[in-house]
Amino acid sequence: MIKLKLAPIAAATFLVLNACNTGTNDASKEEAIGNEAPGQPVETREQDAGYEPAFSGQMRAPGVTTTASYEVRVLTDQLSKPWGITTLPDGRFLITEKEGNMRIVSQEGQVSDKITGLPEVDAKGQGGLLGLTLDPEFASNKTVYWAFTEKRDKGNLTSVAKGMLSADDTRIEKATVIYRATPAYDGDKHFGGRVIFDKEGNLYLTTGERSDKETRPQSQDLNSGLGVCRIKL
């Protein structure tokens, strides 16, 4: 596992369907950042004097504007605290609910029963069953990866597990924890929980900074599991 010095962001509330047209990015992102301002800074409040930016402009990232067309429609309101969502090969959505459930929702909004076989989660505060993603070879191996808050002797932490979705889509088989963002901490906030693969097959995970003053600096400490991690599978 390789630790990266980045800041984690992860959240989900409502299930919607989006359709958009995407364009190509500028080949030179560094040049674009240095010479162009696509919008006014999103954050305009006075900077917190207790935290110095790592580089000029870190606290004043410009907003992004787009002319892409899109459609938004509510598929269902029958989920309980939905958190993570990923699209299955057939167009259905695999979704996590904070309290520890995983479900499948169809394009028409039909919600499946709870998928069984998941490890227990610590759902207090902001914890619970968090983000998820499919293995790049999901079509052949049916493997799903997900992040969740796990109880430990000295508190809790963000963990990543993997398992195989059964042929009938009703259970996760061979669920195994593959990474724990140590050290554990007795708290209930800022667990991160976003998981995503890059083009090289590495799994990226955000693990938060656990909110409290004593843990925040660890998100930039390469000896801590807090922050953003790259897991080489």
Long-range contacts of 76-81 (CB under 8 A, 24+ apart): 76/15, 76/105, 76/109, 76/110, 76/111, 78/111, 79/15, 79/103, 79/105, 79/111, 81/128
- The SS3 of residue 130 is strand
Catalytic-residue membership of 219? no
- The SS3 of residue 169 is coil
Angle at 11 (CA atoms; ends 207, 49), nearest 5 degrees: 70
Give the separation between CA 166 and CA 170, rounded to whole angstroms.
6
Query: Active-site residue among 3, 103, 190, 210?
Result: 190
> Which residues form the catalytic set?
190
